[in-house]
Amino acid sequence: MAEVVILIEGYAKKTGGIMLASPATVLVKDSGLNIIVDPGANEKKLLAALAKEKVKPKDIDFVFLTHYHPDHILNIRLFPGKDILDGDTIYRGDKEIGFANKIPGTSILVIPTPGHAHEHASLIVKTKGGKVCVAGDLFWWADDVKQKIDHASLISLEDPYEKNHEQLIESRKKILAMADWVIPGHGKPFKVK
């Protein structure tokens, strides 16, 4: 079974007219590989969280990006020479290598979840505690918004940055039918009811 470690709980808040945002950054250990998901924008927090787990940036095998919004990707620079993955492509230097369904060499499912962004993808990781979805911004809350996790509220959760409302709703329904736990892009992890 794989292991999921939340290195940073995602946040999004306004302070003095400035938005501070960095997503949930997650370390997934599966099949002897270390995968970091959405390395985020806060370098200091990420390096401290990795050190706490006794993992160095050089120990990371893959960097998976749920989508390309800057708050999710700025820290890829901390992993030079590492493969960068999105929903269906491995970027290795100037090479683009296609893949489908799973992160290569692992049991981690890659699920297309468009809506927030056209290229958005989420991960389903089988753990001892059940199926965990690393959902990126499929679900997210600003820090000052009450996080409602009943099914209807999750489906109808407003997303001011969405690219396609119908796709977003369908993607949310798909993930809620598959996962036992969800790690949102910004906000607290929750159990699917």
End-to-end distance of the chain based on CA atoms, in angstroms?
A: 23
pLDDT digits (tens, 9 = 90+) for 1-46: 999 999 999 999 988 889 999 999 999 999 999 999 999 999 999 9
What percent of the chain is predicted at pLDDT more than 70?
A: 100
Was domain 3-191 assigned CATH 3.30.460.10? no
The reported pTM is: 0.97
Mean pLDDT, residues 185-189 taken together: 98
pLDDT band at 181 (very low <50, low <70, confident <90, very high): very high
Q: What are the phi and psi torsion angles at 94 (to 5°)?
A: -95, 10
**DSSP letter string over 119-170?**
T-EEEEEEETTEEEEE-GGGSB--TTS----SHHHHHH---TT-S-HHHHHH
Comparing CA positions, the residue from 129, 112, 144 lying closest to residue 20 is: 144
So where are the chain's domains? Answer: 3-191
